[in-house]
Amino acid sequence: MRFTILASLTLLSYAAGWAIGVPAIVPVLNTLPALAFMYAALRRGRTSQAIVLMLGWAAVMGVGATLMAYLSPARTAALFLNGERYAAEMMLWVRTGLGEESSPARFLPSHAAHAAAFCALSLATGSMLSMPMGAVLMNSMGHYVGELAAVSARPALTACLAWAPWSLVRIVSYVLLGVVLGGPVLSRLGRFPFRLRAHARVLALAAGGLLADVVLKWLMAPAWSRLLRVVVGW
């Protein structure tokens, strides 16, 4: 029941963002229901439940953003922050195999900067600012995937494969970090117990996921762009 409500509110946040038409508001609207559900679960001492709900939220966002972009890529290019620039870069990578995605020297600094900012914002703000940051990243990715599916000869398969394995690992890692690192500030605001050290295993798993993201991308990205070219029909 909780996930059904969260999923419905998340999809409604896209509808509201579409109607309002202000890009900066979209990730905030996306985040509000998720933050409320995460806070409620942590307050009850159910960190695992909070993680599961946030993983579900991320999945709903991925599907929602991708479907919106597939149906109207021009609209989401204007609506999703950084969506147009990111899609252009990724389309070039799919067509040619060139770009940041296949260049560790370029994507490693970017990954490190994003992870550092996300962790710092989670710790400092109880994830109230890192979650909108995550929403921006999810929406820009969804715009690219939906736009690629829209020009593909095999839209459904393209949409599945364009969410590359390393990106899924990264999303899971960010969810784990957002829930656990947000706990200390939220617990002080809500006056409930939360010990960061008690969740060391989750943090270690998230760190391992970020490392796996880099390794998988390093090893798989060149071949993955060729696979996508075949599936899209280019």
pLDDT at 163: 98
Query: What pLDDT score does 152 carry?
Result: 97
Where in the sequence is the domain holding 208, given as residue range(s)?
A: 2-232
Structure tokens belonging to residue 127? 């994830």
**What pLDDT, in 10s, does the model give residues 114-154?**
999 999 999 999 999 999 999 999 999 999 999 999 999 99
Give the model confidence (pLDDT) of 149-201 as tens digits.
Answer: 999 999 999 999 999 999 999 999 999 999 999 999 999 999 999 999 999 99
Q: Structure pTM?
A: 0.95
DSSP 76-103: HHHHSTTHHHHHHHHHHHHHHS-SGGG-
Q: What percent of the chain has pLDDT over 90?
A: 96
pLDDT of amino acid 1:
86
Report the domain count for the chain.
Answer: 1
The answer, yes or no, to whether residue 102 has pLDDT greater than 90, is no
pLDDT of 177: 98
Give the residue among 15, 149, 12 at the shortest CA–CA distance from 73.
149
pLDDT tops 90 at residue 29: yes
User: Is residue 125 classed as helix, strand or coil in its secondary structure?
Assistant: helix
